Amino acid sequence: MYQADIIIIGSGLGGLEVALAMAQEGKKVLVLERQVQPGGCMQSYRRGAMHLDTGLHYVGGLSESSALYESFNKYGLMSLPWKQMDTECFEEIHIAGKSYCWPQGIDNFINAMKTYFPHETDGLDKYAKLLYCTDELWMQQTNAWDYLNSIISDKTLIQVLTAPALCKMELRKESLPLFTFVHGTAPFIENSWRLATDGNAIVERLVEQIRELGGEVLTGKEVVSLEEEGGIVTKAHCLDGSEYSAKWFVSNAHPAVTCSLVKDSKVMKNIFRRRMQSQPNTHGMFTLHLQLHNNALEYFNHNKIVLPEEECWDVAVGSDLKVKAIMISARIPEDGSKVTNVDILTPMLWDCVSEYTDSTLFHRPELYMKLKEEIAAQCLDIAESVIPDLRSMVVKSWSSSPLTYRDYNLTPEGSAFGFRKDFSNPMSTIISPKTQIPNLLMTGQSLMLHGLHGVTMTAAYTCNEINKNTIN
Ligand SMILES: Cc1cc2nc3c(=O)[nH]c(=O)nc-3n(C[C@H](O)[C@H](O)[C@H](O)COP(=O)(O)OP(=O)(O)OC[C@H]3O[C@@H](n4cnc5c(N)ncnc54)[C@H](O)[C@@H]3O)c2cc1C
């Protein structure tokens, strides 16, 4: 039987980063991934000549003085072909026929907003302080929507300040903590980058280094149970009958899935299990991938965010099946200046697809396919308000819904960002990597923060916990 120091269940960004960090410290690591391809939300997939990304469009905070640089450098990711987005306008926000540009750099950004909204100078000064704020406990316990409304009275400005977050987090008035909002916004304003290749490059680079350091990443290995003996986990059992043992286990699967793997524990209390299995999850996403004719559309080095109804909070597509707001992202062209791949994203609730829950990948009912076509058509209608005749440029299109994410990554209800963090429930904003079973830890977006920046910080949090318990 393969004997590792640490087994990591799941090869999402968080799982691979923990594996590499531990391998760099000399530990023998083994990653077990259920899918045929590693990477979780980071993977890209091929359709004909197209490489389509799933959970990566841009990243914030990669320049040398920014938060993500040190970790990405340590993980060998800084030598990938990162390209900075347009420094004068990396987010182009369209609201009711008017457009607003976000420049990079917090001070530049605030000055630009003061030009658009000169009557909100005081509020914008307070907003600048917030973007630099490091009082994390206060931000965890504060409602983002209420706080923004307490410092700014112009409703359009609030939409402009928050619109790009609509596909980066769950913009939910009732629950979103200021902590989640600021961590998902400030690094992007500091500096924003696209990768001039697909998200798999990140995955491949991490896997390559894990292997160079003597570790292994195995795909097609769905862990179905964790065996407990003497109060610790001793073995991971996989669906194909294989089993693997280690001294430590780290789960990158959703915490509810992690708890379900430990069937008869003498150590994990039911109250912990219930908490992990009942905490609400963030909404999912609908993504429309478009392949465009060569030479049809000039590359734009920014995202376009379109809010036809002047609202970007609580706008996820619900049971009314109405698309209210979208983000459009272009992939950097391989040659020349024309775009061949554009993604349109809109948040989507599980309710939209819940009646198809029993269907499986590649065997979806006709009605579900029709629903996706209908949502795609609405996304295109809205997109054409800022890219006229976009439809006529499309060669082919593909789409994914929360059902797709549920089936690939096993996230409950196809949630895009894992657990919903709620300012009114301090237990939800930061969850410890510990599970009550001393040698079973967790990592990934549900614990603390999501996105590449958040998951990387969370991986460091998990590694720190492992190191505190000195593995030998
Ligand atoms: C549509 C969309 C767009 C996004 N765009 C961006 C963006 O532009 N920028 C950004 O910073 N972030 C973006 N994000 C967020 C980012 O992709 C995620 O926060 C991050 O990739 C999550 O990583 P993770 O490690 O938590 O887990 P995941 O990616 O969910 O990985 C978990 C892994 O565990 C595996 N697994 C689960 N159960 C088992 C089991 N029993 N046995 C073995 N393996 C198992 C799964 O198959 C999966 O591979 C986006 C997300 C979505 C959904």
Q: Which residue has the tokens 């909404």?
A: 283
- How remote is the C-alpha of 175 from its chain's centroid? 18
3-state secondary structure of 95: strand
Separation CA 338–CA 130 (nearest Å): 38
The residues, ordered by sequence, that sit 6+ positions from 444 with a Cβ below 8 Å of its Cβ are 10, 12, 14, 15, 251, 252, 253, 254, 418, 455, 458
The torsion of the CA quartet 417, 346, 95, 182, rounded to 10 degrees, works out to 10
Q: Quote the pTM value.
A: 0.96
For ligand 1, the distance from its centroid to the CA atom of residue 118, given in whole angstroms, is 40
Same domain, residue pair 245 and 354: no
Would you say residue 330 lies in a domain?
yes
For ligand 1, the distance from its centroid to the CA atom of residue 94, given in whole angstroms, is 29
Whose alpha carbon is nearest atom 46 of ligand 1?
409
Separation CA 462–CA 446 (nearest Å): 12
Would you say residue 53 lies in a domain?
no
Separation CA 66–CA 187 (nearest Å): 7
Same domain, residue pair 405 and 452: no
Interhelix angle for 121-132 vs 144-151, to 10°?
140
Identify the domain boundary among 414, 439, 459: 414
Q: Whose CA is closest to 372, among 397, 339, 340?
A: 397
Q: Is 183 in the pocket of ligand 1 (CB under 6 A)?
A: no
Would you say residue 97 lies in a domain?
no
Would you say residue 85 lies in a domain?
no
Q: Is 184 in the pocket of ligand 1 (CB under 6 A)?
A: no
Whose alpha carbon is nearest atom 50 of ligand 1?
55
Q: Whose CA is closest to 427, among 222, 279, 287, 304?
A: 279
Same domain, residue pair 315 and 386: yes
Same domain, residue pair 305 and 319: yes
Would you say residue 18 lies in a domain?
yes
Q: Is 42 in the pocket of ligand 1 (CB under 6 A)?
A: yes
The total number of structural domains that make up the chain: 3
Same domain, residue pair 410 and 308: yes
Task: Report which ligand 1 atom has the smallest distance to the Cα of 40.
Answer: 49
- Helices then strands, each counted (H, E), the chain: 17, 19
Interhelix angle for 200-212 vs 13-24, to 10°?
30
Q: Residue 472's pLDDT is what? A: 46
Same domain, residue pair 312 and 259: no
Contact between residue 274 and residue 288 where contact means Cβ atoms under 8 Å apart: no
Paired tokens of 130:
């917030």
Would you say residue 90 lies in a domain?
no
Per-residue pLDDT of the chain (472 residues; tens, 9 = 90+): 677 999 999 999 999 999 999 999 999 999 999 999 999 999 988 888 788 888 999 999 999 999 899 999 999 999 999 999 999 999 999 998 999 999 999 999 999 999 999 999 999 999 999 999 988 899 999 999 999 999 999 999 999 999 999 999 999 999 999 999 999 999 999 999 999 999 999 999 999 999 999 999 999 999 999 999 999 999 999 999 999 999 999 999 999 999 999 988 999 999 999 999 999 999 999 999 999 998 899 999 999 999 988 899 999 999 999 999 999 999 999 888 999 999 999 999 999 999 999 999 989 999 999 999 999 999 999 999 999 999 999 999 999 999 999 999 889 999 999 999 999 998 888 899 999 999 999 999 999 999 999 999 999 999 999 988 765 4
CB crowding 124-154: b at 16 or more within 10 Å, else e: beebbebbeeeeeeebbebbbbebbeebbee
Q: What is the CATH number of the domain that holds 17?
A: 3.50.50.60
Sign of CA dihedral 10, 14, 19, 22: negative
Separation CA 281–CA 413 (nearest Å): 8
Same domain, residue pair 457 and 439: yes
Q: Whose CA is closest to 12, among 297, 349, 253?
A: 253
Same domain, residue pair 290 and 371: yes
Identify the domain boundary among 399, 414, 429: 414
Would you say residue 69 lies in a domain?
no
Whose alpha carbon is nearest atom 32 of ligand 1?
12
Interhelix angle for 13-24 vs 67-74, to 10°?
60
Contact between residue 94 and residue 304 where contact means Cβ atoms under 8 Å apart: yes
Give the range of the structural domain holding residue 206, as residue numbers without chain letter: 3-45+199-279+421-468
Would you say residue 50 lies in a domain?
no
Q: Whose CA is closest to 150, among 178, 131, 171?
A: 178
Identify the domain boundary among 370, 387, 414: 414
Q: Is 324 in the pocket of ligand 1 (CB under 6 A)?
A: no
Q: Which residue has the tokens 């769950």?
A: 170
Q: First CA to last CA across the chain, in angstroms?
A: 20
Sheet holding 82-84, edge to edge: 59-60, 192-195, 82-84
Give the H/E segment covering residue 117: none
Task: Report which ligand 1 atom has the smallest distance to the Cα of 417.
Answer: 19
Separation CA 41–CA 308 (nearest Å): 29
Task: Report which ligand 1 atom has the smallest distance to the Cα of 450.
Answer: 19
Contact between residue 284 and residue 450 where contact means Cβ atoms under 8 Å apart: no
Q: Residue 470's pLDDT is what? A: 63
Q: Is 416 in the pocket of ligand 1 (CB under 6 A)?
A: yes
Paired tokens of 459:
């991986």
Contact between residue 270 and residue 278 where contact means Cβ atoms under 8 Å apart: no
For ligand 1, the distance from its centroid to the CA atom of residue 188, given in whole angstroms, is 19
C-alpha dist (Å) from residue 143 to 171, 279, 287, 427: 11, 18, 28, 15
The residues, ordered by sequence, that sit 6+ positions from 325 with a Cβ below 8 Å of its Cβ are 163, 166, 305, 306, 307, 308, 309, 311, 312, 315, 346, 382
